[in-house]
Each structure stands twice: as C-alpha cells, then as structure tokens.
Structure 1
Amino acid sequence: MTQFPFHNRLRRLAWAVGAVIVASPAVPVRAADFAEGDAAAIPPSSNFDNGRFGGIRQRLADWNVMVGVGAIFGPKFEGSDEMEVMPVPMISATIGRVNIDPLGISVDLLDTNGFKLAAKGGYEFGRDEDDSDHLKGLGDIDGGAVLGAKLSYEWGPMELYASVDKSIGGSDGLLGTVGANVSHHYDRFIFSAGASATFADDNHMESYFGVTAAQSARSGLREYEASAGLKRFDLEASITYMASEHWVVRGQAGVGFLTGDAKDSPIVQDDLQPSAMLIVGYKF
C-alpha cells in the first residue's frame, strides 16, 4: 500500500497517467492485490465472446490489468483549508517484475522470505500559485522526475515498509516514508488500515513551505524558513468489495497531520488534512 498526500501534485499525476491517487495517502487499487483464490470463488460471467476477444483478455489478465474511475475529496494543496471533489480515472498493471500504478512505475529487484526491494520512478508536478488565492504571489514550483526505492517486509497480514524518493528538477527535494499496513480478507471484502510518517529535506521544505523575502512582498505572507525534519503523519482505512469476478469497488478515508516546520508555515491554513476516495474498477 502506498501513501501519498491528496494535494495538487497527486491530482495532476492522476490525470497525467490516467490513474487515481492522492495527497493524504491514497492507496491505488491494484489487480494484483486480489488473490486468484478469492477471484475463483466468484462465479464468472458468461456474457463474453471468447472466440473474438479471448486472446486479448487473457493477455490483460496475465498482466493483472485493472481500469476504473472514481472521485477524490481532499484539500486543494497540501496545507489548504479548502476542499474539493475531483473525478479521477485509474489504471494499473503488473508485467513480470514491473508494476504500473497511479504513482508511476516500479521494478521488483528482490522478493524473498517476506522481504521485497523495489526501484521506482515517477514525476513530481510541483504546485501552481493559481491553484488557490492563498498561493498568489508565491510563484510556481516546477515539476521534475522522481527516482526512489522501497523496502518492505510482509509478516502475515501486516506489511512494514520504508521508502525514499528523490526529485530531479523542481524542488530537488528528498522524501522518506516509514509505515505499516494491515489487511484482512472476509468473504468478498478486504479491510485495510495503515499509518505512516513522512520526512523531508531542506529543499522540499523550503520549496513547499518556505516564504522568501520576495515572496513575502508579493503575497503578504510573513517570511519563513522551513528546515528538514518530520513533515507529516498519516492514518487511513479502506474497504474493498469484490462485487463479481471482475468488478471491484473500493472506498477509502484518511487524515494527515502536518507537523514541525510544515505545520508552522504561513502557507499552511490547516494542519489537519482529511481525504476520501471512492473507486469502481474492472479487473481483466
């Protein structure tokens, strides 16, 4: 399960890759998350022309392709007190060791005895001052590529993980996340919950939460220097319902708590960052 805040960077990422997200932590719905045994327990649909489309469908099934659509409710930007609802498309797939989801692409490098190490890549879309009146005068934060890695350990229904992400361009920031997730299967339902903490370096904090003298003069916000440290805590819970062999419905709610220099920034209007998501997906 991947944690990500529901702010502008995630909104644009979701649209750019035809996927869902989110800025408090959104967890993408992945077809590979559902065991073959669970899917087999659901009666298959007979309304399908296997003669014409069976080969294509089998390939999509082999790749664990899932497509869907839904909506996200969350802050306009990280630290905003304004909320909005956003329609979001979704797509995910697993091709061998390569995983594609709303957050980008990852490659499994190691998977043994419960431990998994993955390299990942994505894109940070930055922030536009036009996203909110409160950001006027702060200027835009450019986007940039993101490279990172994630180490996780699965222990029964629990997953412990640590990840690091480095932006190349844009903020040139470094983010580190540690967290834990737990899930439980019951009949056609999957119940999940998770908690995480996110750390950021000086570059990220200054870009998103600092206010320079020039920015202060243009925006009216006081000057502020944001230093590296713990940026936020996140809690979330979700329920996934496997309605049929292929149709999946997922609902999720979460809350983020900005802390440290992020919480004290004049850019932040509310350090409490709630979010919610509803997705309907089709698993091939």
Structure 2
Amino acid sequence: MKNAPKLIAGAALAWAMTMPAHADASREPSVTVGGGLAVGPLYEGSSHYAAFPSLKLKAVLPTENWGQFTAAFPDGLRWDLPGLAPFGVALLLGYDQGRKERIHTLGGRDDYLKGMGNLDSTALVGAEVYWMLPAGRLFVRGLQAADNRDYGGENLGRTRYLEAGFASAYALSSTLTLDSTLYGTWSNDNDMMARFGVTAQQAARTGFEQYHPGGGMRDVTLKLGLTWQWQPQLALEGGIKTYALVSDARNSPLTGENVGAGAYLNALYRF
C-alpha cells in the first residue's frame, strides 16, 4: 500500500475533471438539522472500527455587504469575506475534541487506548484562502489550537495543521448532488505528537513503544457524499471518507492500518 496516497489522489482528480461542475445559486438564509449513523475507525490510523451517532447542524446567512456567515456542527464557524471573487478568504473558528483513552461508541466504551490518558479539547482558529474555478474550488486552510495542551506528561504547546486540496459539487439530476473533496494535510510536530506520538509515561502505562514523530505530511484524504433531495425540505445524505497515512504517521505504534475508511448516512430537514 505504499502508493495508496498517489492512487487516491490520481483517481479522484481524473474522475473530477470528467464531470461538469454545479454551483449553489441559493442566496437565501437557511438552517439544516439532521442526524443518523456513522461507522469508522476509532481514530485516524486505528484498525478498530465502531459505530457512532452522526449529528449535523448548519446555518447559512448570506449578506449583501458583509459576505456570508456559516455556523455548522461539527465544522464550526466560518466567515467568507465579500468582494474578492473569483478568489476568496474565510476566517475560521473550529473545535478539536481531543481524544479520550476510553472512546465512547454506540456499543459502549472501547479501551484500546487505556493508559494513554486524555487529550483535552480546544478551540481552533485559522483561515482559508480559495480560488473558484469552473470545476470547483481550490483551497488552502490552516488551523491552530487556541490553548497549550499537555498529553502523556509532556507539553504539546499549540498544535497546528494545514490542509490543501480541491472541492466540488455536481448535480447528477434535479434531486441528486454529488460532493467531493480531495486534500492533503501537513501537521507540525505538536499535532503529530497529539495524534500519533507515545510519551515515556504513556509507554510505561501501555503496551505501546515510545515514539516521537516529527512534523510533516500526515495524510491524503478523499471525501465523497451523495445527497438526495427527497422533498423540498427533506433530504437523505450518505458518503464515505477514505485516507492514507504518510510520513511518520505510518510508523506510529498507534497505527494499525495505514489506509482507512468510514461511512455515514443522515436524514436532513431544511428550514
């Protein structure tokens, strides 16, 4: 699976270029709520899979002079600044939920990471720059933790990561829309340590060997989603997310699988 990142990226780009783009022409405020079921790895790189509740909330407020405001769960807050088309800048406020050593799932609690301790949650602040093209949107976004955090007896400082990729939406019919996003992620050494590192304290409490990854490319990710607009206010959406770990993330003792995937299915109601 050494060539998995290249295969994912190449296949997705080739597929995207063969399809016409669809732009959302709606400029009306909207609120969408919904939920369903998701199945995926316990954490990125885990070989243990479980079922989780899938919740979605999104409120969009377009304005004439101030750009567009979006509040979404789990993505966070987004402010797209006005007057820059076809380029754009968005200010971001997100949330990193951290990681528990006992991970809650629909089946109960998974103890695979018992002894690792808990990584506290934190707010994320950042920005995105993008370029709107006929086929979709090229983007680069960076996010940084608002707080310094400790994990496994060591100070992580502020974790940071950068994502760069391509996103698009295609109208397959009057009721079906296919969304796709392909991106790569770069993490600083603190973010890599939070996700894939094992401190001396954690190694003593678990069966994992001590490991200190360096900063660099973390993964390549492909997301595909299909939305069926069943009625004007009701919709069903489902999709998959697949990733391939690269660099030091592949060699972590916490990594059971270098390639992983998850799926979700939600029912949505739009006000």
Q: Normalised by the shorter chain, which TM-score bucket?
A: 0.7 to 0.9
Alignment map for 1:9-48 (pairs within 5 Å): 34-36=24-26
Of 93, 96, 101 in structure 1, the residue corresponding to residue 59 of structure 2 is 93
| Bigger mean CA deviation after superposition, 162-171 or 143-152 | 162-171
Of 67, 76, 79 in structure 1, the residue corresponding to residue 45 of structure 2 is 79
Aligned alpha-carbon RMSD (Å): 1.8
- C-alpha separation between the residues in 1 aligned to 2:25 and 2:32? 14
Instruction: Kindly provide the amino acid, as one letter, of the partner of residue 84 in structure 1.
Output: A
Show the counterpart of 2:7.
Answer: none
Show the counterpart of 1:70.
Answer: 36
User: Could you say if the C-alpha distance between residues 35 and 68 of structure 1 is closer, same or farther in structure 2, counting changes exceeding 3 Å?
Assistant: farther
Show the counterpart of 2:175.
Answer: 188
Q: CA deviation at 1:62?
A: 4.7
- C-alpha separation between the residues in 1 aligned to 2:247 and 2:235? 38
- C-alpha separation between the residues in 1 aligned to 2:124 and 2:161? 10
The answer to whether the Cα contact below 8 Å between 2:54 and 2:264 also exists between their aligned partners in 1 is no
**Length-normalised TM-score, structure 1:** 0.76
Q: CA deviation at 1:133?
A: 2.8
Structure 1 residue 160 corresponds to structure 2 residue 138: yes
- C-alpha separation between the residues in 2 aligned to 1:187 and 1:95? 24
Number of matched pairs: 228
Instruction: Kindly provide the amino acid, as one letter, of the partner of residue 133 in structure 1.
Output: D
- Cα deviations by residue, 1:92-124 (Å, 9 ceiling, x for unpaired): 111242111121111112443221211011221
Alignment map for 1:190-209 (pairs within 5 Å): 190-209=177-196
Of 236, 252, 260 in structure 2, the residue corresponding to residue 265 of structure 1 is 252
- C-alpha separation between the residues in 2 aligned to 1:193 and 1:107? 22
Structure 1 residue 175 corresponds to structure 2 residue 141: no
Q: Which runs of 4+ in 1 moved over 6 A?
A: none
Of 100, 113, 125 in structure 1, the residue corresponding to residue 97 of structure 2 is 125
- Aligned partner of residue 135 in structure 1, secondary structure: coil
Show the counterpart of 1:227.
Answer: 214
Q: CA deviation at 1:266?
A: 0.3
Q: Higher helix share goes to which structure?
A: 1
Identity of aligned residues (%): 26
The answer to whether the Cα contact below 8 Å between 1:66 and 1:281 also exists between their aligned partners in 2 is yes
- C-alpha separation between the residues in 2 aligned to 1:270 and 1:88? 23
The answer to whether the Cα contact below 8 Å between 1:93 and 1:101 also exists between their aligned partners in 2 is yes
Consecutive unaligned residues of structure 2, counting only runs of 5 or more, are 1-22, 63-67, 104-109, 150-155
- Aligned partner of residue 30 in structure 2, secondary structure: coil
**Length-normalised TM-score, structure 2:** 0.79
Consecutive unaligned residues of structure 1, counting only runs of 5 or more, are 1-32, 37-60
Show the counterpart of 2:126.
Answer: 148
- Aligned partner of residue 205 in structure 1, secondary structure: helix
The answer to whether the Cα contact below 8 Å between 1:153 and 1:161 also exists between their aligned partners in 2 is yes
- Cα deviations by residue, 1:142-196 (Å, 9 ceiling, x for unpaired): 1111101011111123111110000122352001000112321122111222211
Instruction: Kindly provide the amino acid, as one letter, of the partner of residue 99 in structure 1.
Output: T
- C-alpha separation between the residues in 2 aligned to 1:63 and 1:245? 15
Show the counterpart of 2:10.
Answer: none
Instruction: Kindly provide the amino acid, as one letter, of the partner of residue 48 in structure 2.
Output: E
- Cα deviations by residue, 1:188-218 (Å, 9 ceiling, x for unpaired): 1112222110010011111221112221111
